[in-house]
Amino acid sequence: MKVKSVVMTLVFVGLTCAAVAQDTPATGQPTTQGPPPTHSYVIGAEDTLLISVWKEPDLTTTLPVRPDGNISLPLLNDVQAAGLTPMELAADITAKLKKFLADPRVTVVVTQMNSQRVYVSGEVLHTGAIPLLPDMTVLQALSIAGFTQFANTKEIYVLRTENGKQQRMPVNYKKLVSGKAMEQNILLKPGDTIVVP
């Protein structure tokens, strides 16, 4: 029995050393892999926010972000929201409320993401605005919109305005779905318009 337990211990130690060796590069220092990077949502005009102040029901409210990027809050009047993440806005409101409250605790939740949209027009079943999800591609947007029987799927294009200039990026859907033109599976940005002739 003693021999068996010694063998089992040696096997366990060997496996542990092998696992440590895999995580140790040539420098001899163990590597630590952090969590993968996350995309933080940036608030924009027309989004709807829930501003919650702990134990302060009179200051807790749901309101839209105005076209000028501001929100109006009791005690604080106008506060810039557009361009900030929910965490940044919560920190900003917390700092401003410290003039009025001893220990404000603010939470910001985006309840409607209306500022992040792309548009689809032409020979599609569902024209208009589509909420832009993180890392959404033109193929994903087209799968939501669908095609009519008259759609020319070889001549689709994406219109994008950058620095005051409009770009036209061609998309050949037939090549794209067959895997021949994957570079045309464009990563969409807010305000892009997909045109299906």
157: domain CATH number is: 3.10.560.10
Q: Quote the CA–CA distance of 172 and 182 in Å, as a whole number.
A: 10
Regarding whether 97 and 54 lie in a shared domain, the answer is: yes
Model pTM score: 0.62
Judge whether residue 1 has pLDDT over 70.
no
Per the structure, how many domains does the chain have? 2
Regarding whether 173 and 143 lie in a shared domain, the answer is: yes
3-state helix, strand, coil in the chain (%, to 5): 25, 30, 45
Is residue 187 in a domain? yes
Judge whether residue 2 has pLDDT over 80.
no
**Which of 112-143 are b and which e, b meaning 16 or more Cβ less than 10 Å from the residue's Cβ?**
ebebbbbbbebbbeeeeebebeeebbbbebbe
CATH code of the domain covering residue 56: 3.30.1950.10
Give pLDDT, residue 21. Answer: 42
Question: Which residue among 70, 89, 112 closes a domain?
Answer: 112
Q: Which domain holds residue 85?
A: 48-112
Give residue-wise pLDDT tens across range 109-154.
999 988 889 999 999 999 999 988 888 999 999 999 999 999 999 9
Regarding whether 99 and 65 lie in a shared domain, the answer is: yes
Question: Which residue among 112, 137, 163 closes a domain?
Answer: 112
If one counts every other C-beta atom within 10 angstroms of the C-beta of residue 83, the result is 12
Q: Quote the CA–CA distance of 138 and 182 in Å, as a whole number.
A: 11
Average pLDDT, the chain: 83
Residue 116 is given by DSSP the state S
Regarding whether 192 and 128 lie in a shared domain, the answer is: yes
Q: Which two tokens stand for residue 56?
A: 């302060």
Is residue 179 in a domain? yes
Question: Which residue among 60, 79, 112 closes a domain?
Answer: 112
Q: Quote the CA–CA distance of 136 and 177 in Å, as a whole number.
A: 16
